[in-house]
Structure 1
Amino acid sequence: MPNESSRLGSVCVYCGSSNDADPSYIADAHRIGESFAKAGLRLVYGGGGVGLMGAAARGAHAAGGKVLGVIPTFLRGREQPFDDVETVVVDNMHERKMMMYERSDAFVVLPGGIGTLEEIVELLSWRRLDLHQKPIVFHNPRGFWDPFFALIRHTIDEGLTPPSLANAWRAVEKAEDVTPALLSWDAQVASAGEPAELSQLT
C-alpha cells in the first residue's frame, strides 16, 4: 500500500552490477526493489540488467512499481539494460550520475564495488558542502559497509571531515528495514520543517 503521507517520490539505488556477487545480496536487492513498489516509490537506478542493479529493477517492476534506468551508451553491452522498464541512454558517466541525482528524492546504497564507492563518496561530498539534504540509507548486511564507515570516522577523528557528516546517513542490516528507514527519515524531516535549498549543483 503506498504511503500517502510521504513526500518521497523517487529513490535512487547505488549498487553493484556484478553477477558474481553473493546470491544473498542479489536476493536482498530484489526484495528492496519490491518494497519500493509497494510503498509507491519509483526506483531510479543505473539502467543495467545485471547484478544487484538488475535484481532491484526486476523486483520493483514485478511488483508493479515505476522504474527509471539511466545508462551511458558505452555500458549498454556490458551492463545489459533491462528493456522492460523506462531507460534513458546518456553520453557519459557524468550525465548518468547527474540525472540519477536530479530525478531522486532519496538514496539507498546496497553492497557494491568501486563504482558504487565513487557514487556514494560524491554524494556525501555534496552533503558535506550543504548542496543537498536528501536522505541516504545504507543496506549493510553482515557489516558490508563497516570498513567504509570506519574510514569516514577516521577522517573525522583526524580533523579532516566535520563531525556532522557522521549523521548524513542511516544504516540497516536487513533488507526489509530499508524502506521503513527512508519513510521514517522523511516523516521526521516533514515534522521538523524542510530546510531551504542552500545551493545548486553545477
Structure 2
Amino acid sequence: MSAVIPTAKPAIIYPESDGQPMADNTLQFRWITVVQGNLAALFADRPDVFVAGDLLWYPVEGRPDIRRAPDVMVAIGRPKGDRSAYLQWEEGGQPPQVVFEIWSPGNTMSEMARKHEFYVRYGVSEYYLIDPQQGEAVGWVRQGARLRMVDEMNGWVSPLLGVRFAVTEEGVDLFYPDGRPFLTFEELARADAEERAQAE
C-alpha cells in the first residue's frame, strides 16, 4: 500500500490592486496627494509612523475578500517602508488609526456607508470624509465600539495627528500643528522660490 502524501495548501493571494482607479477626477487626486504628502512630511522624523495613499488594507488573515483601500491612511506605531498591501497580522495586529476619504461625484451613499461600517468594525480611531467640491468635511472619532460624529469640524483638531481643520464658506483647509497650511507641490515650489529670491 502506497503512503498518502498530503498536498500542500495553496498559498493565499492578497491582491495589490482592487482594479479601481485611485481617483475619479483631478480635484480628488489633488486632494489625495496633498493630504498624503503633507501627513508624510508632518511625520517625516517619526520612523514609527506609516503614511500611505490608496493602499489595500487586509485586516483578517486568510480573508482576501475583506479589504479596503482608504484614500489616505496613517498607522502610528508601524515602521516606514514600502508595502504592496497593509496586512494587519504582519503589522503587529495594528489597524491604521486614521483614515481619510476624499469624496468624488462617482461615490455613492451606499458605498460610503459600507466604508464607514468597515472602519468601525476593524478598529479605525479617526475617520475623515472631505468633499472638496462642496467645501465640506465630516469627521468621526472612536468612542468604544463605534465612531462618533464630530459636532463641529471648523476648528477641530485631530487628537492623534494634531492637524486642524478649517471648514468655512471658502472651503476646507488643513493645518499643521504649528499653524502652517497644507500646500500642494506647486504651492511649496512657489514658496521655496520666493524664499530663495528674498535671500538673494
TM-score calculated relative to the size of structure 2: 0.37
Which has the higher relative contact order, 1 or 2, with Cα contacts under 8 A spaced 6 or more apart? Answer: 1
Instruction: From the CA coordinates, give the structure whose radius of gyration is larger.
Output: 2
- TM-score where L is the length of structure 1: 0.37
Q: Which has the higher strand share?
A: 2
